Structure 1
Amino acid sequence: MATRNNTVGITEFIITGFNDLEHPKAVGIVILIIYSLILLGSTTNICIIVSDKSLHTPMYFLICNLAIVDMMYSSSASVTMLTVLLVGVKTVSYKPCAAQMFLYHMGDLMEAFAIGLMAFDRLVAISNPLRYHSIITTNRILLLTITTWIISSSFMGFITGIVDGLPYCRPVIKYTFCDYPGLVRAACVNPDDYFVLITIVAFFVLFGNFGFIVLSYLKIIWVVFKMSSDGRKQAFSTCFSHLIVVACYFVPRFVSIILTRVGLVLALSERNGLAIAATLGPSLVNPLIYCLWTKEIRIRVLRIFKSSVGVSNK
C-alpha cells in the first residue's frame, strides 16, 4: 500500500460525473430544491424541539440527532453537485475534497447508527412500557449517541489518513461528488487493496444495524399480537414513521448490493444516479415524515403556519 501523497503534485480534482447530462442546470435546480427542503424540514424539527421544553425527551432528542445527520450527509454531497451543475465549476481542491469525503461517509455511518438507536427506543417503548422511563433516560441516550459519533468520526479519521497518503496521478473523479471510491480510483494504486477495510466496516455497520432493527421489530410484532385492537393501532402509529425511515435508508443500499450480486452491470450514470438518490432520498423523507406524522411536531408546525398566515392577512 502506498504512503506518499500527490506523486505528480495534484492539488485539485475534476468532477466528471455530470459530463453526459444534456440539461445540467435543470438537474441542478431539482437538486437545489430537494436540498433546500432537507435543510428547511430538518431545521424546523430541530427548532421546534429545542424551543419546547415538553419535547426535551429521549425520543425527540433522537429525532434531532437524525436531523443533524441528515443535514451533514446531504450537504457533504450537495455542495459539490450544485457547484458543478449551477455554477459550472467542476474543479475541487484536494483538501476540501478530502473533507467532503470525511463528512459524506461519516454521515452515512451515522445515519445507520441513528436509525438503530431509534429502533432501540421503539423496542423499549412497546415491549416494556412500564420501565421505559427508567431504561431510556436522557443521559443514557446522550451517551449512546455520543459514542456513535466518536466511533464514526474515529473510523473516518483513519480512512482520511489512508486517503491522504495515496500517490495521486489522475486528477479526475468520475463520480458526482468526492467520496472514498472516487479518490482511491484517482490514485496510482490497485483500488481493490483499499476497498477491503471499508467494505468490512460498511458490512458490519449496515447489516449490524439492520439485523438489530429486524430483531427489534420481530419482538415488537410478538408483543403487538398480544395487545388489544386500540393498543395495536397505537403501536402501529408509534412505529410507522420509523419504518418508513428504515426503508428509505436501507432499500437503495440493498438494491445496489443485489444488482451487483446478480451480475447486472450498471452504467456509470446509473450508478451515480443511484448514489444521489440514496444520499438525498432519506434525508428528504426523514424530516417530512417526522413533521407530518409526529403529532406534537405537526401541531406546532400548523400553529406557526396559522400564525404567519394571520399576520400576513392583517
Structure 2
Amino acid sequence: MENISFSIDLELSLNPFFIPSGAKYPIFFLGLFIYIFCLFCNMSLLLLIIMQQSLHKPMYFILLSLPLNDLIGITAMLPKVLSDIVTETNKIYYPLCVLQGFLLHMYAGALLFILAALAFDRYVAICLPLHYNSLMTPRVVVSIIGLVWGLDFALIASLFSLQDKLPRCRTHIMNVFCDNPSLVSLTCANTVINNVVGLLYTAIMQIISVSIQAFSYIKILLTCLATSRSEAKSKAIKTCVTQLVIFLIFEIVGTFKIISHRFTNVSTDLQKIMGMLIFTVSPFLNPVVYGLNTSEVRNTFLRVLRRKIFA
C-alpha cells in the first residue's frame, strides 16, 4: 500500500462505541459527572497539599505527584471521548493523536512509579520510624520525585520516537482514543521491534513497581505482626490494604486490556471500556484512598472547610 504523509492537518478516524440513540446523552452526562468529580477531588487534594503548611512533609510531597498525574490521565482521554459521543465526529488530528497517546502512556507509567514511591515511604515510616527524618530528607524526596518522572519520561519518549519512524499507510485508529499500539497499527511495515520494545518497557515498569511494593508491604506486614500495639497495627494494615486495592485494580484492568488484544473473540467494545477504566478508575478512587482516607489530610480539609464556611 502507498505510504501516507502524516502532516499536521491530517485527520485520523477513531473507532466509536456502538451506543443506542436513546442512551447517548445519559452516557455523556454520566461521563461528564465522573470527569467533574475527578477534577474537583484531585484539584482539591493538589491545592490542599500545596497551600497547607501542616502537610509539607515527605509523604505528601511524594503524594503531590498522584493528583497531578490523575489530572493528566483523565483529561487526556475523557473529554475527547465524551465530545465524540455527542458530536459523532470521531476524528482527531495526527499531532493531537500522538500527544494524547504520549500523555496516556506517561500517566500509566507514572502511576506505577508513584505507587511504588508511596509504598517505600510507608515502609520507612512504619518499619524505621526513628530514622524516618534522617532517611527521607528533602534532597532524597526531590530525588525520588525526579526519578519517578524522569524515568517515566525517558521510557515513553523513546518508545514514541521509535514508532514515529515507521512509514504509514492507514488513517483509521481501532480505538476510541490514541495510544502507542494504535499508532503502530497505522503502519504496513514490520512492527516486531516496536512490539518487543513496548513489552520490554512494560516489563521494566512492572518489575520496578511490583518489586518495591512487594518488598515494602511484606516488611510492613511483618512489622505489624510483631508489634503488640493493636491500634498501630490496625492503622498500618488499613493503610496498606487500601493502597494495594488501588494497585490491584489498575493491574487487573491493565492486564485484561493487554491480553484481550491477543484474542479475537473478545468484544471490541469491552476492550474499549476496559481501556477507558485504566484512565478513570484511579483518578476516581485515588483522592478518596490517599486523601479522605488519610486522617491528617481529612482533618486538614475539614478544618479549612469550616474556616471558609464560618468566615
The one-letter code of the counterpart of 2:26 is: A
Structure-2 change in CA distance of 1:297 and 1:118 (3 Å): same
CA separation of 1:102 and 1:8: change in aligned 2, threshold 3 A: closer
Distance 1:73 1:198, change over 3 A: same
- d(CA) in 2 for partners of 1:251 and 1:29? 27
2:19 alignment counterpart: 21
> Relative to 1, partners in 2 of residues 1:118 and 1:182: Cα closer, same or farther, differing over 3 Å?
same
What is the alpha-carbon distance in structure 2 between the residues aligned to residue 24 and residue 46 of structure 1?
33
Alignment check: 8 A CA contact 2:4 2:170 kept: no
Partner of 1:172: 172
Counterpart AA for 1:236: I
Counterpart for residue 181 of structure 1: 181
Specify whether residues 86 and 253 from structure 1 end up closer, same or farther in structure 2 by C-alpha distance, changes over 3 A only.
Answer: same
User: How many matched pairs?
Assistant: 306
Contact 2:74 2:283 in 1 (8 A): yes
Instruction: Kindly provide the amino acid, as one letter, of the partner of residue 99 in structure 1.
Output: L
Give the match's secondary structure for 2:13. Answer: strand
Q: 1:215 to 1:11 in 2, by over 3 A?
A: same
Deviation at 1:85, TM superposition (A): 1.4
Return the offset for 1:258.
Answer: 6.6
Amino acid of the structure 1 residue aligned with 2:237? F
2:254 equivalent in structure 1: 253
Q: Which residue of 2 aligns with 1:280?
A: 280
Whole-angstrom CA distance in 2 between matches of 1:86 and 1:132: 51
Give 1:125-136 correspondences, 5 Å limit.
125-136=125-136
How far did residue 265 of structure 1 move? 3.7
Residue 304 of structure 1 and its aligned partner are, at CA, apart by 4.2
Give the structure-2-normalised TM-score.
Answer: 0.90
Structure 1 stretch 100-109 or stretch 151-160: which is displaced more? 151-160
Aligned residue runs from structure 1 range 155-170, under 5 A: 155-170=155-170
The amino acid across from 2:69 in the alignment is V
The corresponding residue for 1:294 is 294
Structure 2 unaligned regions, length at least 5: none
**Counterpart AA for 1:17:** P
- Who is 1:11 aligned against? 10
In structure 2, how many angstroms separate the alpha carbons of the residues matched to 1:186 and 1:14? 11
- Give the structure 2 partner of residue 58 of structure 1: 58
Percent sequence identity over aligned pairs: 25
TM norm structure 1 = 0.89
Q: Secondary structure at the match of 1:13?
A: strand
Structure 1, residues 254-310: CA drift from partner, whole Å, max 9, x if none?
Answer: 44467678x684111111111111221011100122232111221233234445655
Paired AA for residue 59 in structure 2: M
Task: Give 1:83 deviation, angstroms.
Answer: 2.2
Q: How far did residue 72 of structure 1 move?
A: 0.8
Q: Does 1:82 align with 2:67?
A: no
Matches within 5 A, 1:256-267: 256=257, 265-267=265-267
In the alignment, which residue of structure 1 is the partner of 2:243?
242
Q: Provide, for residues 27-66 of structure 1, a one-character-per-residue CA deviation record: whole Å limited to 9, x for no partner.
A: 2322221121111111101111111112111101121111
What amino acid maps onto 2:85 in structure 1? L
Contact 2:101 2:179 survives alignment (8 Å): yes
Whole-Å Cα distance in 2 between the matches of residues 189 and 280 of structure 1?
33
Distance 1:246 1:78 in 2: 21
Counterparts of residues 198-213 of structure 1 (less than 5 Å):
198-213=198-213
* 1:137 Cα offset (Å): 1.6
Aligned positions of 1:92-241 closer than 5 A: 92-228=92-228, 229-241=230-242
Distance 2:40 2:192 in 1: 39
For 1:231, give the aligned amino acid.
Answer: A
Query: Partners in 2 of 1:259 and 1:163 — Cα distance?
Result: 22
Instruction: State how far apart, in whole Å, the 1-side matches of 2:3 and 2:138 are.
Output: 44
> What is the Cα deviation at residue 106 of structure 1?
0.9
Matches of 1:111 and 1:309, distance apart in 2? 34
1:271: which partner in 2? Answer: 271
Distance 1:114 1:5 in 2: 40
Amino acid in the other structure paired with 1:185? S
Instruction: Assess if the C-alpha contact under 8 Å between 2:257 and 2:275 holds in 1.
Output: no
Equivalent-residue separation in structure 2 for 1:251 and 1:73 (angstroms): 18
- Shift of residue 13, structure 1, vs aligned partner: 0.7
The letter of the residue matching 1:108 is A
Contact 1:291 1:301 in 2 (8 A): no
Note if contact 2:163-2:194 (Cα within 8 Å) is conserved in structure 1. Answer: no
Deviations 1:156-188 (A, max 9, x none): 222222232222222111101111111111222
- Structure 2 Cα separation of the partners of residues 26 and 135 of structure 1: 51
Amino acid at match of 2:133: H
